[in-house]
Protein backbone atom coordinates (compact mmCIF):
# COMPACT_ATOMS: atom_id res chain seq x y z
CA UNK A 1 0.00 0.00 0.00
CA UNK A 2 1.34 3.39 -0.93
CA UNK A 3 1.34 6.24 1.60
CA UNK A 4 0.28 9.64 0.49
CA UNK A 5 2.67 12.58 0.76
CA UNK A 6 0.57 14.22 3.50
CA UNK A 7 0.79 11.27 5.90
CA UNK A 8 1.80 12.23 9.43
CA UNK A 9 2.32 9.42 11.95
CA UNK A 10 2.09 11.83 14.90
CA UNK A 11 -1.63 12.28 14.23
CA UNK A 12 -2.24 8.61 14.99
CA UNK A 13 -1.07 8.89 18.58
CA UNK A 14 -3.32 10.85 20.97
CA UNK A 15 -1.85 14.03 22.40
CA UNK A 16 -0.97 14.05 26.05
CA UNK A 17 -1.95 16.78 28.50
CA UNK A 18 -0.08 20.06 28.39
CA UNK A 19 2.97 20.12 30.64
CA UNK A 20 3.23 23.89 31.17
CA UNK A 21 1.92 23.57 34.74
CA UNK A 22 4.68 21.17 35.71
CA UNK A 23 7.28 23.38 34.04
CA UNK A 24 5.98 26.40 35.98
CA UNK A 25 6.04 24.45 39.24
CA UNK A 26 9.59 23.25 38.52
CA UNK A 27 10.72 26.84 37.94
CA UNK A 28 8.98 27.96 41.15
CA UNK A 29 10.66 25.13 43.07
CA UNK A 30 14.06 26.15 41.67
CA UNK A 31 13.45 29.72 42.85
CA UNK A 32 12.47 28.40 46.26
CA UNK A 33 15.71 26.41 46.44
CA UNK A 34 17.68 29.51 45.42
CA UNK A 35 16.02 31.52 48.19
CA UNK A 36 16.88 28.72 50.61
CA UNK A 37 20.54 28.93 49.59
CA UNK A 38 20.58 32.69 50.11
CA UNK A 39 18.96 32.45 53.55
CA UNK A 40 21.34 29.65 54.52
CA UNK A 41 24.33 31.76 53.49
CA UNK A 42 23.01 34.81 55.35
CA UNK A 43 22.48 32.77 58.52
CA UNK A 44 25.87 31.10 58.32
CA UNK A 45 27.61 34.44 57.64
CA UNK A 46 25.97 35.87 60.74
CA UNK A 47 27.06 32.86 62.82
CA UNK A 48 30.64 33.13 61.58
CA UNK A 49 30.89 36.72 62.83
CA UNK A 50 30.59 38.57 59.56
CA UNK A 51 28.41 41.69 59.44
CA UNK A 52 24.72 40.84 59.23
CA UNK A 53 23.51 40.48 55.65
CA UNK A 54 19.88 41.24 56.43
CA UNK A 55 20.34 44.20 58.77
CA UNK A 56 18.74 43.93 62.20
CA UNK A 57 16.84 40.78 61.18
CA UNK A 58 19.67 38.45 62.16
CA UNK A 59 21.59 40.35 64.82
CA UNK A 60 21.08 37.80 67.58
CA UNK A 61 22.33 34.22 67.72
CA UNK A 62 18.79 32.79 67.77
CA UNK A 63 17.76 34.74 64.70
CA UNK A 64 20.87 33.60 62.83
CA UNK A 65 20.20 29.96 63.70
CA UNK A 66 16.56 30.29 62.66
CA UNK A 67 17.65 31.82 59.31
CA UNK A 68 20.09 28.98 58.84
CA UNK A 69 17.43 26.34 59.54
CA UNK A 70 14.81 28.10 57.43
CA UNK A 71 17.27 28.26 54.56
CA UNK A 72 18.04 24.55 54.90
CA UNK A 73 14.35 23.62 54.91
CA UNK A 74 13.61 25.83 51.91
CA UNK A 75 16.57 24.37 50.03
CA UNK A 76 15.51 20.81 50.82
CA UNK A 77 11.86 21.47 49.95
CA UNK A 78 12.72 23.28 46.73
CA UNK A 79 15.07 20.55 45.50
CA UNK A 80 12.56 17.85 46.40
CA UNK A 81 9.70 19.63 44.62
CA UNK A 82 11.92 20.31 41.60
CA UNK A 83 12.89 16.65 41.35
CA UNK A 84 9.26 15.55 41.61
CA UNK A 85 8.21 17.98 38.88
CA UNK A 86 11.06 16.88 36.61
CA UNK A 87 10.16 13.24 37.20
CA UNK A 88 6.54 13.99 36.37
CA UNK A 89 7.60 15.81 33.18
CA UNK A 90 9.77 12.93 32.01
CA UNK A 91 7.06 10.34 32.61
CA UNK A 92 4.79 10.34 29.58
CA UNK A 93 1.68 8.40 30.58
CA UNK A 94 -0.37 7.27 27.63
CA UNK A 95 2.30 7.87 24.99
CA UNK A 96 5.07 5.72 26.37
CA UNK A 97 5.81 2.16 25.54
CA UNK A 98 5.27 -0.36 28.28
CA UNK A 99 8.88 -1.17 29.02
CA UNK A 100 10.45 -2.22 32.25
CA UNK A 101 12.26 0.63 34.07
CA UNK A 102 15.36 -1.59 34.12
CA UNK A 103 15.39 -1.66 30.32
CA UNK A 104 15.19 2.13 30.09
CA UNK A 105 18.44 2.69 32.00
CA UNK A 106 21.37 3.83 29.92
CA UNK A 107 24.00 2.00 31.91
CA UNK A 108 22.55 -0.94 33.75
CA UNK A 109 24.19 -3.97 35.23
CA UNK A 110 24.44 -6.79 32.74
CA UNK A 111 23.44 -10.21 33.94
Q: How many independent structural domains does the chain possess?
A: 1
Domain presence at residue 102: no
Q: Is the pTM of this model over 0.95?
A: no
Residue 64, number of CB atoms within 10 A of its CB: 22
Per-residue pLDDT of 9-26, as tens digits, reads 666 666 666 678 889 999
Domain presence at residue 28: yes
Domain presence at residue 67: yes
Q: Which domain holds residue 57?
A: 20-90
> How far is the C-alpha of 29 from the C-alpha of 13, rounded, in Å?
32
Per-residue pLDDT of 43-97, as tens digits, reads 888 888 876 666 776 678 888 889 899 999 999 999 999 999 988 887 755 445 5
Angle at 41 between CA 38 and CA 46, to 5 degrees: 130
Amino acid sequence: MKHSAGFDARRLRPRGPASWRWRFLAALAALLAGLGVLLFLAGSASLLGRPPALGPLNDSLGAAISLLLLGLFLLWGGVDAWRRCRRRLSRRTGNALSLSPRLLKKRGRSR
